Amino acid sequence: MTPDLDSRIGASLTLLEDFLARGRAQIPHDARLLAMAYDGVAEFSLGGKHLRSRLVHISAGDVVGEGLQAATVFGACVDLLHGAFLIHDDIIDRDDLRRGRPTIHAAVRDEYGDAHLGTSLAIVAGDLGINGALQLLLTSDLADDVVRRGMRLLSSAAHETITGEILDIAHLVEPDPDLEQVRLSNHLKTSEYSFGTPLKLGALAAGRDPASMKPIAHALGNAYQAADDIAGAVGDSEATGKQTAGDVVNRRATLVTMRMDPEQPTDPQALAGIIRDVIAEGDSHLADARRLIDETELAPGIRENLHHITNRIEGMLRTHA
């Protein structure tokens, strides 16, 4: 990873911060809940590791001029969209912690002593972020064709994520969902907007065919989800910033929990075997990703940075091995 890449990501974050600040500046002084919604969206989208904006700029490569402007806008959009999805995801998963801090619905609930108020505000705060990601692109100075094609990718990402979340919710009431169903919902609700859309947007900014990045994104996204499912099952709150073993406690359908017997407690030896199986699944996807990165026609810098992302995911897979 190069300092220039970090500076380009920083430009996307500055653009996003300014966009959100302009929206907040229009809030009446007595509209505290609206201000809390804006502040929550800003915290969730401007914090974190910024993997998605990083992927945009990695895929865009050493673009300049209008290409760099497009990558900067796209990077801001995907981080804002991610922040919005996190807010909604925390409601669905009943998570009170995110990055070691109270989630929006939990913070409002605790301040006002009203759980319904907290949930209600978090829902519309997430909506504010999703709409903001689209508005940010629509009000940019990018060429109309670039805006139109970018909107198509962003709106498709939102649709797939929402579909995946609905399928994930359905696992709570469906009798015995299988691993393939879980893999499908994982791909739709996480992999596409986290990897597919950013890599495609970066290619669009660089004037390449966005579809060329789809196979790489699919493999990386699946490996990332395997690592995330391991963390959700065995990671503690200090490491993950979320509830310890939250996926197990809340009976979420993941690559780890679907390998457990819901009627029997999982002993440490059996759990270790399950984790090894999920790591092996993630490793298979990483092998595919490395092969695809090498086979796809890419500039050397793009290829190098994609391999760096692959190595980071491999490290995540083995954190809890």
| Mean pLDDT value across residues 108-135 | 97
Say what the alpha-carbon torsion angle 260, 266, 268, 274 is, to the nearest 10 degrees.
-10
Q: Classify residue 288 by burial, with Cβ atoms within 10 Å: 0-12, 13-18, 19+.
A: middle
Instruction: List, for residues 195-220, the tens digit of each pLDDT value.
Output: 999 999 999 999 999 999 999 999 99
Instruction: List, for residues 270-293, the tens digit of each pLDDT value.
Output: 888 999 999 999 999 999 999 999
260 band by pLDDT with thresholds 50, 70 and 90: confident
The residue ranges of every structural domain in the chain are: 3-317
What CATH number does domain 3-317 carry, 1.10.10.10, 3.30.530.20, 1.10.600.10, 3.30.70.980? 1.10.600.10
Distance CA 232, CA 252 (A): 9
pLDDT of residue 41: 97
Nearest Cα to 109, choosing from 96, 100, 125, 93?
A: 96
Residues of the chain with pLDDT > 70, as a percent, come to 93
Nearest Cα to 252, choosing from 162, 159, 185?
A: 185
Is 58's pLDDT higher than 80?
A: yes
pLDDT of residue 30: 82
The least confident of 107-111, 177-181, 241-245 is: 241-245
Q: At what angle do helices 3-25 and 51-60 cross, to 10 degrees?
A: 120
Instruction: List, for residues 12-45, the tens digit of each pLDDT value.
Output: 999 999 999 999 999 988 899 999 999 999 999 9
Mean residue pLDDT of the chain comes to 92
Instruction: List, for residues 236-250, the tens digit of each pLDDT value.
Output: 666 656 665 666 666
171 band by pLDDT with thresholds 50, 70 and 90: confident
Is 157's pLDDT higher than 80?
A: yes
pLDDT of residue 28: 86
Cβ atoms of 121 and 108 closer than 8 Å: yes
